[in-house]
């Protein structure tokens, strides 16, 4: 029987759909960049200090693949991972929407599905972890709303209340009045906020709370991966500037209250030219925030100078194609006795993007598997007289798939 995981990898590569499985098996390319990221992950674990970086790349050159590779590295290092693609519904200028989407896509190490509330439910009201988090929420955040919310969550026995409080921690923020009502019912005393919580102003408290919580739970840190960052360019002028200011929470640890967080943003290589230069972002910043240009100006500098993913070297591409050949054989139960050089030649006609080269290699292998020939190449040209077993026709092939 064919190898299910190999089939998944080949079909994901064929379709161009990003996959964390692919990131796990195809992680050797761009070793210097991956080593730098690994060092940053290690530093986050050892020091507890947060850091962030931006990588840029052309369409189809592997930005999302790199994020998936980092996803695997982080889980191997016992770090919590959150994965977010910016969109119209999740714009970077609205941090409370970003928080909600990030929490919805948060994966604990060793878990294939997102979610962490099952770990929250294990925390008892009198435990050292509960005491630490309540002290943190009362003293270390801009507002103390999370103190009242988390204390209520730990002590309520009402299922509906617990659901509302848990949903708030996941980004479905409840109004202040019902939270105060719940707190009064449980403890028979009022909840007196030091600062009235407003989600558009104080959402950073939630990121800080969660980063502290994950460390206290024993995880080695929190990795936040953000894809499609270039979609910020579609926002209006002021919204873009606010998006840069929000990015500063993740990219400039000295300006944030995050603990043990590594943030990685993937950005189109043309963003600096298409948005920062053509839309005059530095002038916009001077015009709209003349007295408060930081931290947005520093973020603009980081975006402009961000390292770009370069095309794979020939040796790196050979390694990738060799793996694709091996996985194709496992996926379809055959022995592709084709040289990597033949695959290199086939991909030379497949365009300059890595994604199209990979598709060209898979199509080449498909044709050899089904027809014994690919383009001008036949099995005999490849130094092989016959297959180990007769190659099926398309009708026989798909009939066999239905039987499986």
Please state at what angle helix 145-155 crosses helix 128-139, rounded to 10 degrees: 160
Q: Is the peptide bond before 295 cis (omega within 30 degrees of 0)?
A: yes
Please, which pLDDT band fits residue 61 given cuts at 50, 70 and 90?
A: confident
Taking only the tens place, the pLDDT of each residue in 310-355 is 777 788 888 888 888 998 999 898 988 888 888 888 887 656 677 7
Taking only the tens place, the pLDDT of each residue in 170-211 is 999 999 999 999 999 999 999 999 999 999 999 999 999 999
Phi, psi of 260 (to 5 degrees): 60, 40
**pLDDT for the residue 395:** 45
Q: How far apart are the first and last CA of the chain?
A: 8
pLDDT above 80 for 139: yes
Please, which pLDDT band fits residue 65 given cuts at 50, 70 and 90?
A: confident
Taking only the tens place, the pLDDT of each residue in 20-41 is 667 666 655 577 888 899 999 9
pLDDT above 50 for 163: yes
Q: Higher model confidence: residue 236 or residue 58? A: 236
**pLDDT for the residue 259:** 93
Calculate the alpha carbon distances from 252 to 22, 296, 300, 316 in Å: 31, 10, 12, 33
Please classify residue 402 by burial: count the beta carbons closer than 10 Å to its beta carbon, then call 0-12 exposed, 13-18 middle and 19+ buried.
Answer: exposed
pTM over 0.95: no
**pLDDT for the residue 179:** 96
Contact 184, 191 (CB under 8 A): yes
Domains of the chain (ranges plus CATH)? 30-109+219-305 (3.40.50), 118-202 (no CATH), 314-403 (no CATH)
- Residue 107: strand pairing partners: 81
Taking only the tens place, the pLDDT of each residue in 296-309 is 999 999 999 998 88
């Amino acid at each position: 029987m064919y190898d299910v995981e190999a089939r998944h990898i080949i079909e994901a590569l064929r379709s161009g759909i990003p996959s964390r499985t692919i990131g796990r098996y195809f992680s050797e390319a761009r070793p210097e960049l991956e080593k730098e990221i690994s060092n940053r992950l290690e530093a986050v674990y050892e020091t507890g200090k947060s850091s962030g970086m931006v990588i840029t790349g052309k369409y189809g050159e592997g930005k999302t693949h790199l994020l998936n590779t980092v996803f695997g590295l982080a889980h191997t290092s016992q770090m919590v991972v959150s994965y977010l693609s910016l969109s119209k519904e999740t714009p970077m200028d609205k941090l409370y929407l970003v928080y909600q989407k990030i929490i919805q896509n948060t994966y604990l190490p060793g878990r294939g599905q997102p979610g962490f509330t099952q770990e929250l439910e294990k925390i008892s009201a009198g435990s050292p972890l509960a005491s630490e988090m309540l002290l943190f929420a009362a003293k270390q955040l801009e507002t103390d709303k999370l103190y009242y919310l988390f204390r209520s969550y730990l002590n309520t026995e009402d299922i509906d209340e617990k659901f509302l409080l848990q949903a708030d921690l996941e980004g479905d923020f409840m109004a202040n009045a019902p939270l105060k009502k719940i707190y009064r019912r449980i403890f028979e005393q009022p909840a007196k906020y030091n600062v009235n919580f407003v989600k558009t102003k104080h959402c950073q408290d939630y990121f800080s709370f969660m980063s502290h919580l994950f460390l206290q739970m024993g995880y080695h840190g929190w990795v936040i991966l953000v894809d499609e960052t270039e979609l910020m360019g579609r926002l209006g002028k002021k919204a873009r500037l606010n998006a840069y200011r929000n990015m500063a929470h993740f990219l400039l640890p000295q300006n944030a209250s995050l603990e043990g967080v590594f943030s990685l943003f993937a950005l189109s290589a043309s963003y600096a030219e298409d948005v920062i230069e053509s839309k005059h972002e530095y002038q916009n910043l001077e015009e709209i925030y003349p007295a408060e240009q930081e931290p947005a100006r520093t973020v603009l500098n980081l975006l402009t100078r961000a390292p770009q993913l370069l095309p794979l070297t020939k040796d790196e591409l050979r390694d990738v194609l060799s793996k694709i050949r091996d996985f194709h054989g496992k996926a379809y139960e055959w022995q592709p006795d084709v040289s990597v050089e033949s695959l290199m030649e086939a991909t030379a006609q497949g365009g300059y993007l890595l994604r199209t080269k990979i598709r060209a290699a898979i199509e080449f292998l498909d044709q050899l598997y089904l027809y014994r020939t690919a383009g001008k190449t036949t099995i005999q040209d490849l130094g092989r007289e016959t297959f180990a077993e007769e190659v099926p026709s398309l009708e026989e092939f798909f009939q066999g798939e239905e039987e499986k």
